[in-house]
Amino acid sequence: MSDPLPDPIEIALREDLGDGDTTTQFFVREDLRALGRIVARERAVVAGTEIAAEVFRRVNPKLNVEILQPDGIALSGGETILEVRGAAASILTAERVALNFLQRLCGIATLTRQFVEAIGKSRAKILDTRKTTPGLRALEKAAVVAGGGANHRSTLSEMVLVKDNHLNAGAGFSGFVNAIQRLRQERPGLRIEVEADRLEQVRSFLEVDGIDVILLDNMEPTEMREAVAAGKGKVKFEASGGITLKNVRRIAATGVDYISVGALTHSARAIDLSLELTHVGT
């Protein structure tokens, strides 16, 4: 069993606090209580509410946090996502870290929803990739799901994805075929996907037993359509490379089963959120 991953909240709080929140210590009385509201300043799909709430609780377990807009909800802007009540000093100390998680994860969910909506009623699924922020993969992949997408593999051990560099570093095509056969014998339940960037490769892979998915890398839609026609009923097809909101509908129309979009996690823009402190008193 692998060692547990580092706690992202602990890392983020340690990074932000240093030796303590000096500003709050000197300018905010310990006995002050307040209501803090995290508000969306623009249209967004919500994600990351539970980890944002946990940030407040880690700073002060006595804070009362209420999530008003659950993950997956689409906002038009102006709504309160969560409220936190209790010591004003603790709310202010936790503010930045909670917002950092929430605005990042809402950004991923929002961009994912845009891709999902862009392909309309297509049966293709929008997938994420492993192009995630180090240490935050589980959170970012959960945000993709909140946006209506689906997760590709999270770890290298979950499935096989043979890319061009693996083929270049291997023992040629015969070695590739032997490896597929060995995998099927030793790990019969493991999903096997292979990458192709030319139609000739697709045709070669279709002759190999044991492949589940062929990834069509940076192919033109006309080539994708031809590949799908050649492999219909034999394997699933995934489109990848250069996928944008402008071309994703056209790619979905080729008949591919999956469309993986690295931009969901590596290029999502943070959503504009703010924490408003009100009802300050003793």
In this structure, the answer to whether residues 71 and 202 fall within a common structural domain is no
Answer whether residue 1 shows pLDDT above 60.
no
Question: What's the predicted TM-score (pTM) here?
Answer: 0.94
**Would you say residue 74 lies in a domain?**
yes
Whole domain around residue 23: which residue ranges? Answer: 8-115+269-281
User: Would 86 be classed as within a structural domain?
Assistant: yes
Q: Judge if 139 and 250 occupy the same domain.
A: yes
Same domain, 126 and 260: yes
The enclosing domain of 19 has a CATH number of 3.90.1170.20
- Cα–Cα distance between 202 and 281 in angstroms, integer? 68
Instruction: Provide mean pLDDT across the span 248-267.
Output: 97
Active site residue 217: yes
Ranking 33-47, 92-106, 170-184, 227-241 by mean pLDDT, the lowest is: 170-184
Q: Are 127 and 236 part of one and the same domain?
A: yes
Cβ neighbourhood burial of 151 (10 Å; 0-12, 13-18, 19+): middle
Contact between residue 84 and residue 91 where contact means Cβ atoms under 8 Å apart: yes
Does 198 lie in the same domain as 171?
yes
Phi, psi for residue 183 in degrees, rounded to 5? -60, -45
Q: Is 250 a catalytic residue?
A: no
Indicate which residue of 131, 184, 191, 236 is catalytic: 131
Is 96 catalytic? The answer is yes
pLDDT per position as a tens digit, 24-56: 999 999 999 999 999 999 999 999 999 999 999
Position 273 in a domain: yes
Whether 132 and 233 share a structural domain: yes
State how many domains the chain has. Answer: 2
pLDDT at 170: 65
- Most distant CA pair in the chain: distance in Å? 76
144-200 pLDDT tens trace: 999 999 999 999 999 999 998 887 776 678 888 889 999 999 999 999 999 999 999
The residue from 58, 163, 184, 191 that is catalytic is 163
- Is the domain of 275 the same as that of 228? no
Specify if 149 maps to a domain: yes
- Nearest by Cα to 197 from 171, 155, 233, 163: 163
Among candidate residues 33, 57, 96, 249, the one labeled active-site is 96
Return the pLDDT at 2: 60
Among residues 71, 140, 195, 238, the one annotated as catalytic is 195
